[in-house]
Structure 1
Amino acid sequence: MGRVNFRGTTSQSHPKKSYKFRIDEGPDVDGSDVVSLSANFRDGSLLRELGAHDLMLEAAVPCYSVKPVRLQVNGVYSGLRFQIEEPDIEYLERIGLDPVGRCYKVERKIEVKDTVEEYIEGFVNTTEDDWLRDDIIAFIEALFATTDDRLEEWLLGSLDVDLFIDWYAAAVTAGALDFAGHNFILHRDRAGGAWRILPWDLDNVMRSASLPAIYATEETPGPSGLHNGLVDRVLSVPSFKRRYLERLGELLDGPFDSESMAALLEARAADQEDDALIDVEKRTRERFDLFLAEVDTVINVMEDREAFLRASIDSLMPPQWVDLAINEVLLGDDDTVSAALGAEFHYRGATAIDVAGFHLSDDPFAPEKWPLPGVLLEAGEHLYIELPPDARGDDWIWLTAADSAPVDSIDLAAFSGADAVGRYPDGFGAIRVLESATPGTSNDWSPAALLDVWPVGGDVRRRADRFTVDIVLSSTWREELDVRIEMDLEYEGGIRHAKNPILTVDPPILGPGQVWEYSQRLRISTNETLYPPGRYDLVYSVIEGESDRLTSARTSLFIDDGYGEFEDWVELLNSGENPIDLEGHYLTDDFEDEPFAWPLPAATLMPEQSVVVWLDKDPEQGVFHADFKLDRDGEELALVLDADPDTVLIDRMVFGYQDSDWSLGRYPDARGSWELFDAPSPGSQNSDPVVP
């Protein structure tokens, strides 16, 4: 039992219809209660979406599944359709992404919009029917507000750039037209972090061999002049543009070469040829010759496309030195170095660069003042040179290439009195006053202010409970520090509870090394309905000037289970330096007899990230709700890894009778002994254990 609707707007005008079936009763199909069948009537070959899907997978881009199926209506063959996987929770689980993260199907041009309603229409949440768009609004606004000199650093922290490059290379090779204005997906874990781009609706592809290699930019827009603002901004970073073109070349030398693509398309065509030939509703109707000619056309277009793209790469490729930067300059009398002035360079390109012929200078009228030694720099390597005694160190310093092209520069006058300035992170970060001189190695830096925050009286709360915030602000700046502290309330994934901060504090001006402490008792108004239910974080930001965020900190305000209930829970913490995939891990309250009692969902814990799992026997309430409860009188809880054929016990705790609203936890976090706490702290650091 279920409902059926037409799928898509354009297809409704075609004689061959696309359908969407919603199953209300009965078994799911491929794990989903929604079945989307696309007619792909505009594609006379019935091959294009399948081919583009395969190219995405060849480029290591997760992609929705496309499966040809025979549609029968009342027992009569109604033609070939393509079952399209919906971008829902099941899809995210299948490709290994956080299934309860924020997932938006982009329906409108990437640009700053005037109203929230425009963002709601332009970014359709595929997993939740809600109107919350704070996270995507913040991303889009910052995408266009970030200055060019900070853009590379911002993008590396806000976007999975490697995935973006793979996606763009595959989309451009396939000649995808739609992503200039819509038809792709943006996803982010519910804990925040970088956005990921994913393909969607790859049916309008493989029609032109001469679609530009830099497609959907303002310079080479799509139909009706549309261009993709995200593509524009990423490719405006010379280093990213070079990485993309290098990756495109790699793929054209591998799975995207014409022979491989022809073999892939021919295999797909052969698999469905019998069903396609008798499909009288397809674009070419009963004309077998026209259908087979369409298949040949697609293969020929892709053969010509390879040649066109190869010819484009060299003319578009930025010079190799875009990945070379002045990384550090020594300015003062620092005991750690042998000279008063020196310069360090960092190279972040993929292939080695010879810096012979490059020059450094502090005189714009003599750009070739100091030649760099003729050495070969590999990816990630540093080169340090000492400068002669006449180097001024109080003005601009320039790096030029062998052809005199400007490579990089630093305004040293802005850092008078500092011993060492440099980029942090190495190579692409902003110029900062460094902690110490580190010639030949990675730069060391910390923000001008350090912030410590604590909630007092416990973190698990009901709405409208009073709570206390304690703030300690420390100045590490060499001059006076004049800042303000703003506190926001955020739902997981960066969804803000209110448009404005719920608290703004103006500390006194702090001198070097000074510390300021602040405490206040607060309550969130009961008139402000927290939506949606779940965990909320207090996010504290130290702001200088209008909007320059120096540092930030966060801690949980409260966590309920999203249903107004306060059940048993366990907090899992990744204390290592690498991400951990939770898939294959299990929780159990009976390790000996049932080690794989409840599987953790497919999600990734980043370093120092934690997740709360509710042990409430309510799995229908979400993926982090286990199907068992703990025994108040005492039992065990174990974390287990299924490393087939081995069963690996990662951690185990056996406990006795438990009082309500108390918890057991490791102190210090992750590696300490088990201690008792009267103020549980899910999602934040364990502190103040009860001393027996």
Structure 2
Amino acid sequence: MAVKQRPPRHPPRATCWTMMTATLLARWNPNMRNPCAGYPLFALLLLGTLPAQDLYDIPTVRSFYITTHQNDWWTRLAANRRTKTDLNVDLTVDNKTYKGVGLRFRGNSSYLATGNSQKKSFNVTLDAFTVGQDLLGYTNLNLSNAYNDPTFTREVVSYELLRRYMPAPKANYIRLYINNVSWGIYINVQQPDKEMMSEWFKGNDGNRYRCDPPQSSGNGRSALQWLGNDLNLYKAAYDLKTENSPTGWLDIRNACDVLNNTATSQLPQALPKVIDVDRALWYFALNSILVNLDSYIGRGNDYYLYHDEEHDQLEMMPWDMNESFGGSNASMSVAQLKVLDIFWQANNTTSRPLLARMLANAAWRTRYVAHYRTLLDEVYDWNWIGSRVTKYQAMIEKDVQADTKKLYPTYMFKGNLTTDYRLNSSFFRTWAPGLKPFVDARRTYLLARSDIKQVTPVLSQLARSPADPTDNQPVWITARVTGATSVTLHTRVTGPFSQVTMFDDGKHGDGAPNDGVYGGRIAGQPSGTKVDYYVGAASTGGLRFLPRNAGHKPEDYRVDWPRGSSPVRLNELLARNNTGIVDEKGQHEDWFELFNSGTKEADLSGHYVTDNLSNSKQWTIPAGTKLQPGKSLIIWADNDAADGPLHANFKLDAGGEELALFAADGRTLLDHEKFGAQEADVSTGRLFDGKRGWVGYPTPSPRMLNAPATCGVRLYTAVEPLTHSVTQTVSGSAKIATTATFQISTAPANSAVAELIGSGGTALPLPEFRLTLLVNPLLAVVVLPTDATGQARFLLPIPDDAALVGARLYVQAIGIQGGGLIASNAAETTFCPK
């Protein structure tokens, strides 16, 4: 007899908050039953992968409120367009107002071709009039008007796809209001500035060029042609964005010389020394498959170059993807664009020399086709592209319908998914191909090509031995390969990759001979060395790599340093010092702090500090430097030895890097900390002096103890403060017999937050939630509703009990936004006597 099951009873939503918190602490205990499954949102939070709350987090659509101070602000913007002069405005985001922000029009075609429309593209500069100001770590914002894209998705989807295979900007959506008038949905595109370079490269000080200055637009002079020895010719063709560079345009001229004037037989050895060849081939393949002709392959411009100083190569990066998927027609019909040859422009040595000379080389041509196959296998089909287009349109559909300033009628928003539309502007007429038929037809054409459908080797089981090599210890790389005529190991420390033949002969760390496992040897490297590697296998049909990304995000390892112990620890650092302490010269310089956690005086003479683990002896602590027990020492990271003996010869990278302390032998690693993007005037330090657990301090504590106050409130946040977007402050008194007020702001409006109350502080990263738990062990959870401005208040009555004096509570808020979790900083409250 069947037993009728009673439907499950679901606990109150507040109880789900408590249970969700317990799950956080349990770190995804697989045996824990989810009693909140009846609440779909909570089930998603418990079982799904949650996005980070970055400024460019795609599921999060923020509202930007711009307030101007001049009645004729529009006229001023138009007058300032050519000179790129900023207008001083206020910007409010997440209920926080930023004063002294710069606003100007951006773009050429997106401005001129839109005529009298107010739906212009804008550039927003956070620090234009307020030094050091940023929005969640970003200073330059590009708000795009979706010119030539009625779907509003081409740019966001294209950049998401591009970032899988090469450095590219992030992009998402924002709602724009100017003087409380809605300007509708905009695409928020990351600026290729120093912040972005820090995300992709070891440093961000290399020369950075916009290869699309107005005077060279469309004539190929920004396409790495040889213009002669006169440096002024390159200055006119390449817009140098790096400030005060002593080497500006020299690297461009040298690369153009090598590219255009080297004999064909010598080019495979010479070109990789100045240009990242694999990166360039990815750039060409991506723009070709996306039919983005407003790029190097089409107009010979509208891209970026960055000089990666670590490997001494120029790196290509994409820009302006709003006309991808055939949006820039180049005088071709939509039917022609769907079957655009993958070698289009490959014979144009005059105005597209990099594309032409690289694809004339058999090995590079084969690699290019291999990258094309990877794109077809992984991303270029309507299942991948269409799922994102559908999702992103659903996020913004109501906003687009309500947008009275948009460039194209509402019916095109969805219609352009399947229908080609003729777009007319003030001086351009072009087609916007229907996305799905365009992608489907192009994929069908590409898969039918004989060079694409060739059978290529199969690679798997990439491994290395030993996994963690020590000083000068050789490393064997192995991979299982079938169907190959040759297998090659690509490896590098700095500069271009070198090649080593791999064998299946039982003599190269590959196990038994002829077992399908190939091995290759990487020579031993000194401690601290980082090694990149990947494997390629060739057959008569073509080439395949493992990882498929090849030179983009290859496998890597770092040769470990011998470890030692010391009572002296790295204790705190500030990588963006705008208003904090000053050095002997009265300058706001970056700094870091050493702390002696021992009981005896520590002599630091001859010890080393470095921000580059490959260079353990980067800066020597001066002779006679001693540190008393329980005391700290400030060292300025300003690369200015003339200012004093305790000024290191490097600067801290606010985009994130590493800092290490080495013993006087220059080999023994005593302490090491890796940190991410930093916020202005927020330091990173240990929660408790000399002990585990690094956090962020909104109020830095140089030369002071990183310890609980004997009475009062101490605020701290995640070691990467930009990942925690909710703000918590404490007002009132921490005295017994009074009430402390915990104020929450910048939380989601008309929602709820959960205040986690604990008896201790921690810094427990929860990568599955993309946040850091700052309170543990947990005592209680209080759920608070937020108002229309995203604020909430929690009142904590403190009993009149002298036994509570010196007791502490730790409080952190957790909320929900965009289908993911967001968090606040934590407040440590030490109860005081009356």
- Relative contact order: is structure 1 or structure 2 higher (C-alpha 8 Å, sep ≥ 6)? 2
What TM-score do you get using the length of structure 2 for normalisation? 0.42
What TM-score do you get using the length of structure 1 for normalisation? 0.50
